[in-house]
Amino acid sequence: MSDLETFFQQFENWVLKDMRLILKIEDENGNLIEPDRTAFTSRRPLVAAVILMCCAIDCLARFRYGEIDRNVGSSFKNFVFGYFSENVSFSGKSYDKQKIYKGLRNALVHGYSLGRDLGLVHQSSENHLDQVNNRVIIDVFSLYYDLETAYNKYKQELIDGSYQEQFKRRWREYPLIQFITEENVKGR
Let me know if residue 119 belongs to a domain: no
Least reliable range by pLDDT among 6-10, 85-89, 126-130 = 85-89
Let me know if residue 128 belongs to a domain: no
Q: How many domains does the chain have?
A: 1
Let me know if residue 157 belongs to a domain: yes
Let me know if residue 81 belongs to a domain: yes
**Which is nearest to 102 in space by CA: 88, 89, 85, 116?**
116
3-class DSSP state of 139: strand
Let me know if residue 44 belongs to a domain: yes
Let me know if residue 11 belongs to a domain: yes
Q: What is the pTM of this model?
A: 0.89
pLDDT tier at 7, thresholds 50, 70, 90: very high
Let me know if residue 34 belongs to a domain: yes
- pLDDT tens digit string along 27-67? 778 887 888 777 766 556 788 899 999 999 999 999 999 98
Let me know if residue 168 belongs to a domain: yes
Q: Other CB atoms closer than 10 Å to residue 92's CB: what's the count? A: 13
Q: What domain range is 100 assigned to?
A: 3-113+140-186
CA angle 27, 30, 31 (to 5 degrees): 70
